[in-house]
Every structure is written in structure tokens, then in C-alpha cells.
Amino acid sequence: MQTKHIKAFGTEAADLDLKQLEIKRRGVTSKDVEIDILYCGVCHSDLHFARNDWGFSVYPVVPGHEIVGKVVKVGEGVKKHKVGDIVAVGCLVDSCRTCNNCKNDLEQYCSGWVGTYGGHDKYLDLPTFGGYSENIVVDENYVLKVPKNLDLAGVAPVLCAGITTWSPLRHWKVGKGSKVAVVGLGGLGHMAIKLAHALGADVTLFSRSANKTKDAKDLGADRVVISTDEKQMAGVSGHFDVIIDTVPYAHDLNPYVATLNTDGTLVLVGYLGPLEPMLHSVPMIMGRKSVAGSLIGGIAETQELLDFCGKHNIVSEIEIIKIQDINEAYKRMLKSDVHYRFVIDMTSLKKQ
């Protein structure tokens, strides 16, 4: 197996800042596509993984799973992409391909799915390294096509923030007239508002921050409810069909369950961990309400979303940064000071 040493940004331990590293990439196998990375979005999961918040990080960590780039090389068996194509890679780069989840386009629920970073590269017996790097080599079946009309930096966050909110909106059949709420206005939250609005839903934002109200309305929210204001929360009691909760840290879900309508579902996409305080069952039983979870989306569903974004001209609201600014960007993300996704211009790594 041929390999290549390339420049990347990452960390060797949970308590260290990210810095420039050299990593090894495999050469293209017959089914692989080599992509020169142009832009990479910055997801809160990148920060969680770099800092081992979830306890399963493998170091060195090179984050980044909102990747847009240009194909520079293809293996001899590649049929779906060609040199010069603008393509994208999201959160997964492989899966077992034979289980029921894989057969049903639900690769994200395959027990053998390989994350874009922190997974296992079976060819090199190394961790997979993500998009904070010069290039990436991915099997053609896990590479997406980018609609030609979309801004290349703005489309990057569709690959995680977009699909993570799109998948539950579709699964819970959100459409015209659905009453949808989104908890938290960050990367995922702002895409959830845009997508639910484009699907025809009536959209409410739950936020702790009153100063995000104008932005939320500009993004397509019909109203904003300040989640720390009990009176405002009582005003939407029993109201929503679907709530997409993007908050990254433990928080009380009971006030949100109270705002679900009969048969309504609160979908957790943000926080990974034990719920504290506990959920009270009575409001769930009395209204046949559900609390559920959802993980990113499959490859076909991600392509469906990219095509939907192309048709409706939807991209993320972004702030472009250089890779050298990534540690500062993480600090701002922890203060919920992102409007509404950082995207790294990866030429800054090449110039270094």
C-alpha cells in the first residue's frame, strides 16, 4: 500500500490545543477518490472529540467532517466521480455494506460504520483523520456530489449540521403545517430552522439568548421563545409535533416535553450522556409523547439533502476562518458565540 505524508491540524491529547501535525494517508485503491480539501466546517463534535468529552477519542485526533473539495485522483475502478469534480464528504467514510442498516441506506446505524475521524482505516491500521488536512482519500460510495449553484464554503456545514437535522425532520414526516421547534441556535440549530422552514413547517426557536431573536427570524423562524422564561414556555404548552434539541450539554428536558402536542416527539441530536434531571413519565403517558434520538444521516439521505439545498438555494450562514484560528474558534463555540458556523478555508494550511 502506497502512503503519503500530508499536513493536518489536530491534537495528541485532550488537554492540548490543536496544532500542525504530519499524518499518513493511504494512496488510492481501485475504488478510492483522492480529494484536495477546499473548505471544512467546524462542528461542536470536533471540539467534543478533540477534548475526549465522550471518553472514546483515539489520538492523534484530526477533526473535521464537513468537507468540500476537488477530486484530484481516482482509482481505476471508480465510476461515480472524476478528476476535477467538486465533491463532499460528511461524517462517515465506510460501513460494513451487508447488514440490514447498510442495505436500507442507514449506514449511520451500522455497527461497523467508520467515522471520518476517530474511526479505523483498515488499510493502514491507523485512526481515520478528518478534514482539517490537505486532502482525504475516501471510497467512491461515501463521496457526495455538490450541486453546482451552491457556494462551496457555505455548503460544507450541510454535511453534518444539515443532515443531522434533516434526517429527523424527514423521519418524523415534517411538512406543510407541521409545528416544529428547535432548541439552541448554533450550527445544527440554524440549519434546522432553514430546513424545517423550507419544508413548509411553522418553526419556533427555543433559545437562552434573546439577542439571537432577529437572526432566528431572518433564518425562517416564525417565533422565538426564551427557554429560561417560564411565562413564555407556558405560552407554548402542548404546541409542537416535533422538537429538535441541539443543546450539547446536559439540560432539563421536562420543560420541553410539556410543550409537545399529543403524539409529539422530542428528538435529541445534541447531548450524548445520561439525562439529568430525570424525565418525568406522567406528561409522556398522558399525551403519548416520545423522547427519541437521531444520528447524522445515511449516504443516500445526505445526497437527497444536498440536492434539496441546490433546488432551494440553501447554504449555511458562515464565518470563514484560517486553520491557525481554530483554537480561538473553539473558545467562541463554548460561549455560543458562533454566527452560525465556522468554516475553515483550507488554503490557509497549504500556505503555512
Out of ligand NAP, Zn ion, none, which partner does residue 197 contact, by CB within 5 to 8 A per kind?
none
C-alpha 164/C-alpha 269 separation (Å) is 7
C-alpha 332/C-alpha 43 separation (Å) is 12
Q: How far is CA 138 from CA 25, 34, 300, 346, in A?
A: 10, 7, 16, 18
Q: Is 316 in the site for ligand NAP (CB under 6 A)?
A: no
Exposure of 105 by Cβ count < 10 A (0-12 exposed, 13-18 middle, 19+ buried)? Answer: middle
Q: Is 265 in the site for ligand NAP (CB under 6 A)?
A: no
# binding residues, ligand NAP (CB under 6 A): 30
Q: Is 247 in the site for ligand NAP (CB under 6 A)?
A: yes
H helices within 24-160, ranges in order?
44-50, 100-103, 152-155
Out of ligand NAP, Zn ion, none, which partner does residue 44 contact, by CB within 5 to 8 A per kind?
ligand NAP
Least distance in angstroms from the C-beta of 110 to ligand NAP? 14
Out of ligand NAP, Zn ion, none, which partner does residue 296 contact, by CB within 5 to 8 A per kind?
ligand NAP
Q: How many residues does the chain have?
A: 352
Count each helix (H run) and each strand (E run) in the chain, helices first: 12, 19
Q: Is 298 in the site for ligand NAP (CB under 6 A)?
A: no
- The grid coordinates listed for 141 are 460510495
Out of Zn ion, ligand NAP, none, which partner does residue 207 contact, by CB within 5 to 8 A per kind?
ligand NAP
Out of Zn ion, ligand NAP, none, which partner does residue 338 contact, by CB within 5 to 8 A per kind?
ligand NAP
Distance of alpha carbon 1 from the chain centroid: 31
Q: In the complex with Zn ion, which residue's Cβ is closer, 95 or 259? A: 95
Least distance in angstroms from the C-beta of 100 to Zn ion? 8
Q: In the complex with Zn ion, which residue's Cβ is closer, 258 or 321? A: 321
Q: Is 251 in the site for ligand NAP (CB under 6 A)?
A: yes
Q: Out of 7, 26, 48, 70, name the contact with ligand NAP by CB under 6 A.
A: 48
Q: In the complex with Zn ion, which residue's Cβ is closer, 62 or 160? A: 160
Binding site for Zn ion (CB under 5 A): 43, 45, 95-96, 99, 102, 110, 160
Q: Is 25 in the site for ligand NAP (CB under 6 A)?
A: no
Q: How far is CA 116 from CA 53, 135, 155, 262, 317, in A?
A: 18, 12, 18, 38, 23
Q: How far is CA 306 from CA 68, 277, 303, 336, in A?
A: 12, 37, 5, 26
SS3 193: helix
- The grid coordinates listed for 319 are 464565518
Q: Is 213 in the site for ligand NAP (CB under 6 A)?
A: no
Q: Is 192 in the site for ligand NAP (CB under 6 A)?
A: no
Q: Which residues bind ligand NAP (CB under 6 A)?
A: 43-45, 48, 160-161, 164, 184-189, 207-209, 212, 246-249, 251, 269-270, 294-296, 333, 336, 338
